[in-house]
Amino acid sequence: MKEIRLWDYESPVGRLVLGDADGQLCLCDWPGSARHEAVVRRVCRALGAETRRGQTELLRRAATQLDEYFGMERRAFDLPLLMVGTAFQKAVWQALLELPYGTVATYGELAAMLCARGVCKRGAARAVGAAVGANGMSVVVPCHRVLAAGVSLGGYAGGLPAKRFLNGIESLARVQAGET
């Protein structure tokens, strides 16, 4: 049976569980979230794997890049990703990776972008929201950049204070770099 190595990373806004499946990051998830166990079970089932605690070179690299991100020194992650989900979920998560650092989009805007690519039909904001909510690689796949209609924060697996913090450091880094 395959193995997913799990390792805890302490971020400035709470603990994240990182997962390595055959040298690819398959988890960067908030263990305190209501859906964490379901995400881990989904990934294990899809990969035919079981979890084991331990550090790997990839997880150390991911931790270093997360340190750089939280230190406002990194805007994008350079890690091999293994996105585990349906084809629709993977398309949504790929679209999240395309949202520019320090910007936000609503679920409706994200749905419109995906519908323009033929991934979904008009009015798919709820389905897109469900796929965003199923993202098991928070921060690395930036679901914190998606807001509810009316530009309210909406939900977030790491909690709203974490979502505010993540969007805040990205905005601050852009301001410090002279971008607007």
Would you please indicate which residues are annotated as catalytic (active-site) residues? 143
> CA 133, CA 156: separation in Å to the nearest integer?
7
- CA angle, corner 38, sides to 139 and 61, nearest 5? 35
